[in-house]
Amino acid sequence: MTQNKTTLPSIINNLELDHSPLMDSIICKVEVDLVGWLADLSGGKGWEVASDNAFEQYVTFFLRKENNYAEITLFNGGFAQVELNEQIIFYGDLLAVKNKSAQMNYYALQSGEKIIMH
């Protein structure tokens, strides 16, 4: 049986690594494919984003398809509300439900670079 030995200098070198990138501020964003999500919810493709309005706590998107219209409101806390022809068809946490059109991504605050989490 062989035994691996770690020398004291290699342990010290590992402790001296620069860990400052781990302490940078990170922004967490939920990104949504609005057209794809509405197609899944409504059962029909062909939706187009007509306009959007941004407010301090949420963003509202207006979509249309032929004689149908939809309003998707995305709140800063990760919740969403979807209205289709004035009927609410979704209200809840985007990530708590099985939703292939929404995903959580992380970005470095200062550089804006996407961070891959393992």
Judge contact between 94 and 83, C-beta under 8 A.
no
Q: Is residue 10 part of a domain?
A: no
pLDDT surpasses 90 at 29: no
Q: Which helix (H) or strand (E) holds 12?
A: helix 8-15
pLDDT of residue 103: 78
Torsion of CA 27, 33, 34, 40, to 10 degrees: -130
Torsion of CA 84, 59, 116, 26, to 10 degrees: -150
pLDDT tier, 22 (very low <50, low <70, confident <90, very high otherwise): low
* Whether the Cβ atoms of residue 27 and residue 106 lie closer than 8 Å to each other: yes
Residue 3 lies in a domain: no
Domain of residue 40 covers 23-115
Query: What pLDDT score does 96 carry?
Result: 75
- Total structural domains within the chain: 1
5 in any annotated domain: no
Task: Note the pLDDT tens digit of each residue in 32-65.
Answer: 889 999 998 899 899 999 999 999 999 999 999 9
Two structure tokens written together for 64? 């249309």
Q: Does residue 82 form part of some domain?
A: yes
Least confident of 2-16, 28-42, 93-107: 2-16
Instruction: Indicate whether 12 belongs to any domain.
Output: no
